[in-house]
Structure 1
Amino acid sequence: MTFNYAAIATAAADILAKFGADGTLTRKSAGTYNPATGSATPSETTTAVTACVFPYGDRFIDGTTITTRDRQAFIAASGVSEPREGDLFEWGAELFTVQRVKNLGPARTMVLYEAQVRLG
């Protein structure tokens, strides 16, 4: 018997759409090397996402791995590639840097990304 994780992913996206807010993920890359100029032109890829963002509870903040400037972002996985460490996450008027990501994808069906993001 198999479980329909695709339906769970759709439900997660619907819940985040209802209770979350729009945000953007921006990934910077070195770009393609141009031998004529001797340099690479950096590029950016921006992706619209839906997320809910919460502060970490005091018991999780150790001042090193998780700081008071960190937030826990739950990002809908539908149609979004996995966030990476160093990506920029804009949510509301705040800009965060992705510190680490857990992908919640049982049976290889991505349902949700849980990201630790740092303000500033």
Structure 2
Amino acid sequence: MKQYLTMAPLEEVGLIKAITGIGAFEMNDIWLVKMRSKADKDDLLKTGELQVKGGFCAIVCPIQHDVTVKIHWIDFDISNGSIRQALSDFGEVLEVSNDNWTISGLEHAT
């Protein structure tokens, strides 16, 4: 039977004993790891990446809820406040801004 998971990278960063649960999330490409405490999770996130079987392994938090959205073709008369209000049904809106043209002579336009 082929072994898909190796613990050596987690042992190298000293976090193997902090794991309380582990399982394949999406085939064997994405794994979920449950840590003993928030501090242990933060320590794992600080590593940023690991080398697993010679390949790159990104360490990310699946609970990250910040989303950046770019909306195209909005009428010029719709205010940023109206956009903020419309999007607030989906969560806290941190920022609404307009892109500025980078073409010479149009830098003042949005």
The two structures have a TM-score, normalised by structure 2, of 0.28
Higher helix share: 2
Task: Specify which structure has the bigger relative contact order, considering alpha-carbon pairs within 8 angstroms and separated by 6 or more residues.
Answer: 1
